[in-house]
A and B are shown apart, each in its own frame.
Chain A
Amino acid sequence: VTLGVLYKVYRDVAILQHALRGMAAVAAGLLLASAVGMAAALPRRLVPWLFLLLAFAGVGVVRWPLLYVMAALAPFAMYFAWRRR
């Protein structure tokens, strides 16, 4: 929280802006690393990867509200997982 307050005060200092850009790029890479690590555990089948792609496209590319994407995908995702048990 202290950092959040400090950010408000110093965010216009140019050198900090650049530092933060670098940190944000690294943070994105780190998040990607954990996502890749988890994706490696997914079964190598079409259906789960299709759902991954749809979830990514709906929320990340088209930018639909996450609630709608979740409501649309979750029943089918669970149904397919249920059938394969």
Chain B
Amino acid sequence: MAQALALFWHFLLLGCLAVGGVSTVMPDMHRYLVDEMGLVSAREFADLYALAQAAPGPNALWVTILGLHAAGSMGAIATTLGVLIPATSVSYIASLLHAKHADAPLALAFRRGLAPVALGFMLASCWLLLRAVGHDWRSYGLALVALGVAMKTGINPLWLLAAGAVLGMVALV
């Protein structure tokens, strides 16, 4: 219970910082759950992320199964609510403000200023995921191929994930 509460507070904080989606605060989930609390291993972290990408439904579902894995069903509720509460309230307030003052200088400074910071966080997420998969040319190569195909063709990512699963089985077993 205490653990679920701690998870809730940490994810609530991250939810407030998640400018531009959950993937921007993913590095801190990794730091907290893997490095600090030791509740989830780096490999499990990457596995769960991959699973959530393949699962139907919103991507934020990933936060739920991460909480489930870290601290049971209470953990799942804690992480989900933690991320959801600020995300919904902030975006609600923001959409109200945005409708009125979309071109206000402060709003522009906020968006333009924070966009690169959020992108830096997102790149850190990619980096941590790749590190968790393993230091080896095959996984880096596979990620690069996925990057290239996704950018060139706009194919449904599920096909790429399925291809990744098959390649993983064939090349590594």
* B172 on the A face (CB < 8 A): yes
CB distance from B23 to the nearest CB of A (A): 6
In the bound complex, do residue B105 and residue A82 qualify as a contact, i.e. CB atoms below 8 Å apart? yes
A22 to B141, CA, bound (A): 11
Residues of A within 8 Å of B119, CB to CB, are 35, 38-39, 42, 52, 55
CB distance from B122 to the nearest CB of A (A): 5
* Contact residues on A (Cβ < 8 Å of other chain), bracket: 35 or more
In the bound complex, do residue B120 and residue A25 qualify as a contact, i.e. CB atoms below 8 Å apart? no
Per DSSP, chain A at the interface is helix
In the bound complex, do residue A25 and residue B51 qualify as a contact, i.e. CB atoms below 8 Å apart? no
| Contact A56 B48, CB 8 Å, known A21-B168, A22-B166, A74-B114 | no
A78 interface neighbour in B49, B114, B121, B128, Cβ under 8 Å: B114
Nearest neighbor of B164 in chain A, beta-carbon distance: A26
In the bound complex, do residue B105 and residue A85 qualify as a contact, i.e. CB atoms below 8 Å apart? yes
Give A residues with C-beta under 8 Å from B. Answer: 1, 3-5, 7-8, 11, 14-15, 18-39, 42, 48-49, 51-61, 63, 65-67, 70, 73-74, 77-82, 84-85
CB distance from A51 to the nearest CB of B (A): 4
Nearest neighbor of B126 in chain A, beta-carbon distance: A32
In the bound complex, do residue A70 and residue B31 qualify as a contact, i.e. CB atoms below 8 Å apart? no
Nearest neighbor of A56 in chain B, beta-carbon distance: B120
In the bound complex, do residue B113 and residue A79 qualify as a contact, i.e. CB atoms below 8 Å apart? yes
Residues of B within 8 Å of A56, CB to CB, are 120-121, 123-124, 127
In the bound complex, do residue B129 and residue A28 qualify as a contact, i.e. CB atoms below 8 Å apart? yes
| Contact A23 B129, CB 8 Å, known A31-B23, A36-B147, A59-B121 | no
Residues of B within 8 Å of A52, CB to CB, are 116-117, 119-120, 123
A80 to B167, CA, bound (A): 46
Interface residues of B in 101-139 (CB under 8 A from A): 105-106, 108-130, 132-134, 138-139
